[in-house]
């Protein structure tokens, strides 16, 4: 049986696998921003205990292999909390997200710290509160500076999402190995999967770089992190 007809026969599964992969990535990136940004603010502006707790969190989630984190949450923590029925997809997305938050918080932190002190002083001199100054002066600048670094989280997240294979999430790699075990056609199917991953990877990056250009401000150096 030739490769093309296999791919066509299995296309509904492949498409579902791609959707699951992208779903994992998008949800995890979302969780990463929602948690990573407050964590970054906490690390820059927070009290000592707050900084300490966030530091431990970051150290833990960046120090463990994604595979071990997935095993820990899938076999250990979720069932331990009585959440044994939560689907693998959700566990995968949550773990990728929690880990992504640790990485993203450091990107945001670097960006916030790169904003010159004069910005805060100027904002306060206008009578803004500290939190208003952060929200309306510091963050809009910091987010633009963070974007190029943040964009790189996308390919990392995409390739990491494949490890969710280990807990049985029906993402693209899982679908691929299922096709291989059913058809006994190995190399061409694996290579086709690699091509799909590469397209998703660089296609997504292109979109993100387009976004970077759209929010560019003249004379405001990006990549200054």
The site for another protein (CB under 8 A) is made up of 59-60, 62-69, 71-72, 75-77, 79-80, 106-107, 110, 155, 158-163, 165-166, 173, 176-177, 180, 186-187, 190-191, 193-194, 197-198, 201-202, 225
Structure tokens at 165: 């294979």
Q: Nearest 5 degrees, angle CA 82-CA 87-CA 31? A: 90
Q: Are 137 and 128 in contact (CB under 8 A)?
A: yes
Nearer of residues 53 and 72 to another protein, judged by Cβ: 72
Q: Are 172 and 20 in contact (CB under 8 A)?
A: yes
Using CA atoms, how far apart are residues 146 and 224, in angstroms rounded to an integer?
9
* SS3 (DSSP) at 65: coil
The least CB distance from residue 60 to another protein, in Å, is 7
Nearer of residues 59 and 220 to another protein, judged by Cβ: 59
The least CB distance from residue 172 to another protein, in Å, is 9
The least CB distance from residue 66 to another protein, in Å, is 7
Nearer of residues 134 and 160 to another protein, judged by Cβ: 160
| Residue 217 burial (C-beta neighbours within 10 Å; 0-12, 13-18, 19+) | exposed
Nearer of residues 119 and 177 to another protein, judged by Cβ: 177
């Amino acid at each position: 049986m030739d490769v093309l007809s296999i791919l066509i026969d299995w296309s509904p599964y492949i498409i579902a696998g791609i959707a699951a992969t992208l779903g994992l990535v998008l949800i995890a990136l979302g969780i990463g921003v929602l948690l990573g940004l407050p964590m970054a603010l906490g690390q820059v502006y927070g009290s000592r205990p707050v900084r300490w707790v966030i530091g431990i969190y970051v150290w833990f989630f960046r120090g463990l292999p994604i595979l071990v984190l997935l095993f820990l949450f899938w076999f250990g923590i979720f069932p331990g909390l009585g959440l044994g029925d939560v689907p693998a997809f959700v566990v995968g997305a949550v773990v990728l997200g929690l880990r992504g938050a640790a990485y993203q918080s450091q990107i945001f932190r670097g960006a916030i710290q790169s904003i010159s002190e004069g910005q805060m002083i100027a904002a306060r001199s206008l009578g803004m509160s500290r939190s208003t100054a952060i929200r309306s002066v510091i963050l809009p600048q910091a987010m633009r500076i963070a974007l190029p670094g943040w964009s790189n989280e996308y390919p990392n997240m995409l390739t990491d999402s494949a490890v969710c294979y280990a807990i049985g999430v029906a993402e693209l790699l899982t679908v691929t190995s299922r096709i291989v075990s059913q058809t006994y056609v190995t190399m061409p199917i694996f290579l086709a999967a690699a091509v799909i991953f590469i397209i998703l990877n660089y296609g997504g990056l292109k979109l993100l770089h387009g976004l970077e250009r759209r929010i560019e401000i003249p004379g405001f150096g990006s990549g200054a992190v």
